[in-house]
Chain A
């Protein structure tokens, strides 16, 4: 599978990729984008199966990116990895079409549990 990790923090992008490996998801191609606008440009031209996206970013936020993905009918599973995991934000994410929301700080077990069906299915 092709996975796109979107976060304005290079450190967090590395932590997400490290956690994916620690969770056993080692067979996938992982690409990076540092904000929603860069991610949207990537998604318009590159095949991608799953987006793991921060919420709060400069240029274009994660929820704005998800809106653009839906508007442009880009077929991809979209999930948030964000420091804000309140019920209200989980509801907003779900209503916008997100498949899941992982709250920071996360554990390897959270990745295993949340992403198992998504990353193994395809």
Chain B
């Protein structure tokens, strides 16, 4: 099975509902005003094998802190940068693992990494970015197939 926007929405919604207890809505607004461009954090995992690509989650630092506080069950004021990286990295791991499960195998999932800035813009035809709204906070999930890998369905 190849990925389309609907499957990305479905997998992400399940992770947000189950891990965080939060509802999310997908949005077609690709220029979210609530996210300061250039001030995003992105957490990614790579899949390598029968399908090669990267799954990235991007959101504002403030939303990242909120997510970390929820996962760690502590006030946002107690979330250090390291704890935020840990928590959002785990979200990428869970989303990425579930994406891997619907792609052709065998393949391997990398450990998550967290970087400042937005996810790389998807190369035309080789990637998809889906935007979500979670209580007024926007975030995106980007699935980017590497050129040698199998492209996502357009």
Contact = CB atoms under 8 A, between A and B. Distances in A.
Q: Are A and B subunits of one complex?
A: yes
B97 A104 contact: yes
Given A82-B97, A105-B14, A106-B18, A15 B111 contact: no
Contact of B83 (A8, A10, A83, A106): A10
A9 B90 contact: yes
Contacts of A86: 100-101, 105
Q: What is the interface of chain B mostly: helix, strand, loop, or mixed?
A: helix
Interface of B: 14-15, 17-19, 68, 71-73, 83, 86-87, 89-90, 93-98, 100-101, 105-106, 109, 111
19 contacts: A10-B86, A11-B68, A11-B86, A11-B87, A11-B90, A12-B71, A12-B90, A14-B72, A14-B73, A56-B111, A58-B111, A82-B97, A83-B100, A84-B109, A85-B101, A86-B101, A86-B105, A103-B97, A104-B93
Interface in A11-38: 11-12, 14-15, 18
